[in-house]
Amino acid sequence: MLTRLLFPVIFTGATLLLSGCGQEEEKETSTLKMWVAPNITQETFWGGVIRDWNAIPGNPKIEFTAIPVAGSSEEAIMNALASGTEPDISTNIFIGFATQLAGQGLLTNFSTLAGYDALVATRKMEPFTKAWEINGENYVIPIYVSPIVYWWRGDLLKKLGIDHIPVTYEEVYSLSEKNVAAGGHYSMQVTAGKNWWDRWFDFVPLYYAASGNKPYFNNDRAEFNNPAGLEVLTFIQKMFLNKWSSYDFTSADDPLVTSDVIGAVRGPWDITRYREQYPEILNTIRIGPMLTATGRAAPATMADSKGLVLFNSSDKKEEAWKFIQWVYSNPKYDVKWLEATNMPPAREDLLTNPLFSAYLENNPLAKEIISYVNRATPPAATTRTIDVQRSMTQMIERTIFENASPAQALQKSADEINHAQGK
């Protein structure tokens, strides 16, 4: 009886096992695979682009999907690379990750491909490809460049009798004193958060502004232990010691919306969110540059920038390159990108090219943010982004929680980074 029962069980089990293992999806060799950033706006944009491409007779078909769900896009891509399931093309690559991938020989060097220089010229993206160079080579096509700027609540500034946007540390101190005198509490969201990646939105852009766009990490060494770094860290510490800022804003509701602060770093991606959720607040927003000690003219800032890569493992590089050239040589798609995301495409003619005028005339905030694009620099091209920015986080926290002097904190952080490199 038992054996009679056993056979169907074994048979069913074996069938299930074999069907599970055996039906490995056969890769359609004629189809290009592309991964895009996992958010609805970008998926919609790329959906439209790829529909247009696939509609052109003779073009190899492209399938796109959002980068699979994982802790981060980088993790998903690494897992795919380890298991040989990576796509041909992927977007949403930041410079530190690109440096890691390029260091392992996983990325195609675009500058060696025929037509690259023409594409750079056509898209007018030379300054950006230059900023994205990794060891003098171009492994990434920059998609967008979002300059980090301050958003100030014009209505709250006006209430305090301030008619211009603060550009120096002193102006912020004075504004903060006025705010407290008027019964307010905090004046600025100085730090963006507690994670290492938040340094892209506070210390790094402020350092670029203070130093005149000097690198904070170069030749595998920390370069921010200098007067510019000291200026920035002193400013940050002073804001916290005087209780003009809080380290807890990120976990609370947006303090710029709730009027708990007058100024904070926000990105162009926030325009859509504010437009949908807080249109009245959006109407009061005025854009300001990174703060400096002297109010330096046109100070530099950091570019939150992501790009597109072509994996070396692709057996359809030629077709993929053809697609990339097709997308980025047609400004129509950059216009669509800007309309969909509000994030400035990586091209230097955004304010002069009439194709973008219609959109920018109706979106003065986006237009103002775009005016910062040409002085926005991406973060350091290093494989040690986490070490460096984790140390920066500790540096800021030492000045806030341990009352360490900015000079000591800078020294300790630079030593940590350089010592870790020595190891």
Partner 1 sequence: MFRLTIKESSLGGLLASTYLGYSLVFWLYPFLWLGVLSFTDWQFIGLPTFSGLKNCVAVLHDPLFWKAMKNVFLFLFYYLPIVLSASLLFAFGLRRIKYGKAFIALSFLLANVSSGVAYSIVFSKLFSEYGPITLFLQAHLGMTVPWFTAPDVAMISIALIVTWKFVGYYGLIFYSGLIAIPKEIYDAAALDQTGPIKRLFRLTLPLMNAQIVMVLVLAISVAFALFTEPYLITGGGPLDSTTTPMVVMYEAAFRRMQPGWAATMSIFVAAFSFSLIWLVRRSLEKNIEKV
Q: How far is CA 226 from CA 142, 211, 222, in A?
A: 30, 9, 10
What does the radius of gyration of the chain's CA atoms come to, in whole angstroms? 25
d(CA 84, CA 27) in angstroms, rounded, equals 12
Measured over the CA atoms of residue 181, residue 185, residue 188 and residue 190, the dihedral's sign is positive
| Per-residue DSSP letter, 150 | E
| Closest approach of partner 1 to the CB of residue 168, in Å | 27
| Closest approach of partner 1 to the CB of residue 200, in Å | 14
Q: Shortest CA distance to 409 belongs to which of 222, 129, 198, 146?
A: 222
Q: Is 6 in the site for partner 1 (CB under 8 A)?
A: yes
Q: Is 40 in the site for partner 1 (CB under 8 A)?
A: no
Q: Name which position in 53, 196, 269, 359 contacts partner 1 (CB under 8 A).
A: 196
Q: Shortest CA distance to 232 belongs to which of 390, 401, 407?
A: 407
Q: Shortest CA distance to 399 belongs to which of 216, 202, 151, 205?
A: 202
Going by C-beta distance under 8 Å and a sequence separation of 6 or more, which residues neighbour residue 131?
142, 303, 305, 377, 378
Q: Name which position in 12, 44, 65, 72 contacts partner 1 (CB under 8 A).
A: 72
Nearer to partner 1, 91 or 246 (CB): 246
Q: Are 235 and 169 in contact (CB under 8 A)?
A: yes
Q: Is 397 in the site for partner 1 (CB under 8 A)?
A: yes
- Tokens describing residue 282: 């959006």
286 forms bridges with which residues in the sheet?
152
Q: Name which position in 69, 82, 114, 297 contacts partner 1 (CB under 8 A).
A: 82
Q: Name which position in 42, 157, 398, 413 contacts partner 1 (CB under 8 A).
A: 398
Q: Shortest CA distance to 223 belongs to which of 380, 103, 390, 95?
A: 380
Cα-Cα-Cα-Cα torsion 201, 203, 207, 208, nearest 10 degrees, comes to: -20
Q: Name which position in 220, 348, 368, 387 contacts partner 1 (CB under 8 A).
A: 387
Nearer to partner 1, 220 or 339 (CB): 220
Residues that contact partner 1, how many (by CB under 8 A): 42
Q: Is 260 in the site for partner 1 (CB under 8 A)?
A: yes
Per-residue binder mask for partner 1 (CB under 8 A), 209-248, x = binder: -------------------------------------xxx
| Closest approach of partner 1 to the CB of residue 100, in Å | 6
Q: Name which position in 61, 194, 221, 332 contacts partner 1 (CB under 8 A).
A: 194
Q: Are 66 and 38 in contact (CB under 8 A)?
A: yes
d(CA 133, CA 305) in angstroms, rounded, equals 13
| Closest approach of partner 1 to the CB of residue 297, in Å | 35
Q: Name which position in 39, 66, 81, 154 contacts partner 1 (CB under 8 A).
A: 81
| Closest approach of partner 1 to the CB of residue 123, in Å | 31
Q: Name which position in 242, 294, 401, 415 contacts partner 1 (CB under 8 A).
A: 401
Binding residues for partner 1, per CB under 8 A? 2-3, 6, 10, 13, 71-72, 74-75, 78-79, 81-82, 100, 104, 106, 193-196, 198, 246-249, 251-253, 258, 260, 383-384, 386-387, 393-394, 397-398, 400-402, 423
